[in-house]
A and B are shown apart, each in its own frame.
Chain A
Amino acid sequence: NAGVMQNPRHLVRRRGQEARLRCSPMKGHSHVYWYRQLPEEGLKFMVYLQKENIIDESGMPKERFSAEFPKEGPSILRIQQVVRGDSAAYFCASSPYEDGYTFGSGTRLTVV
């Protein structure tokens, strides 16, 4: 079991570009969570998804950010028109139920 796979590990984008972050949950896990870690801070919840459904997006910024978890393929976190303040580590976690998170190694986004 390969664990939660996130790619890319590092992503550099210029201001105004789009960032697409991918997360493949562990085999058999149907719950996916996205968290953001700003420098020297803890992780902040963004969104919780099940296959084809957004369950809780209370932590997502209202604009430019979107997430999906399609029936087939990885979960995608999309950030449109990135700004410097979007620079952070973005972590995905998965679980078989609403419990027992396993985190991926994260995608470090740098906006230049």
Chain B
Amino acid sequence: GEDVEQSLFLSVREGDSSVINCTYTDSSSTYLYWYKQEPGAGLQLLTYIFSNMDMKQDQRLTVLLNKKDKHLSLRIADTQTGDSAIYFCAESSSGSARQLTFGSGTQLTVLP
């Protein structure tokens, strides 16, 4: 079945850029998403990219998609302490009635 993998932890200093990586296996993925989860909260959609795009930028967030390598990344510029959270990569494929497959999440810790 489909699989989405992420590294578990990332630490950066405040003001630096963070890059969170994700790989997926489903070649029929149509949309790829990044969600943010703060402690005890639900998931907040940060951004998404359609599979025929290479890059999407939205303020401090840049998403890069390498469809050939099935690699997705999220870059957060000028990382702030409020960015500390778990970041989930997710994908949906055309035949699944919009069922999302999530990675296990990357815990981002921003150090002062």
Whether A42 contacts B45 in the complex (CB less than 8 A), given A48-B98, A48-B99, A56-B97, comes out as: no
Of listed B31, B90, B98, residue having the most chain A CB within 10 A: B98
* CA–CA, A4 and B90, complex, Å: 20
Identity of the chain A residue whose Cβ is nearest the Cβ of B96 in the assembled complex: A56
* CA–CA, A35 and B96, complex, Å: 15
- Residue contact A43 to B45, C-beta cutoff 8 Å: no
- Residue contact A103 to B99, C-beta cutoff 8 Å: no
What class of interface size applies to chain B in its complex with A? 20 to 34
On chain A, the residues within 8 Å of B112 by CB distance are none
- Residue contact A59 to B42, C-beta cutoff 8 Å: no
Cβ contact of A99, chosen from B41, B43, B88, B98, cutoff 8 A: B98
On chain B, the residues within 8 Å of A103 by CB distance are 35, 42-45
Interface string of B90-112 (1 = CB under 8 A from A): 10000011111111110000000
- Residue contact A91 to B43, C-beta cutoff 8 Å: yes
On chain A, the residues within 8 Å of B41 by CB distance are 105-106
* CA–CA, A81 and B101, complex, Å: 28
B4 interfacial by beta-carbon distance below 8 Å? yes
Chain A residues within CB distance 8 Å of chain B: 4, 31, 33, 35, 40-45, 48, 55-56, 58-59, 91, 95, 98-99, 101-106
Chain B residues within CB distance 8 Å of chain A: 4, 31, 35, 40-45, 88, 90, 96-105
A-B contact pairs, 28 of them (CB 8 A): A4-B42, A31-B98, A33-B98, A33-B99, A35-B102, A41-B105, A42-B4, A42-B103, A42-B105, A43-B102, A44-B102, A45-B101, A55-B97, A56-B97, A56-B99, A59-B99, A91-B43, A95-B98, A98-B97, A101-B100, A102-B45, A103-B42, A103-B43, A103-B44, A103-B45, A105-B40, A105-B42, A106-B41
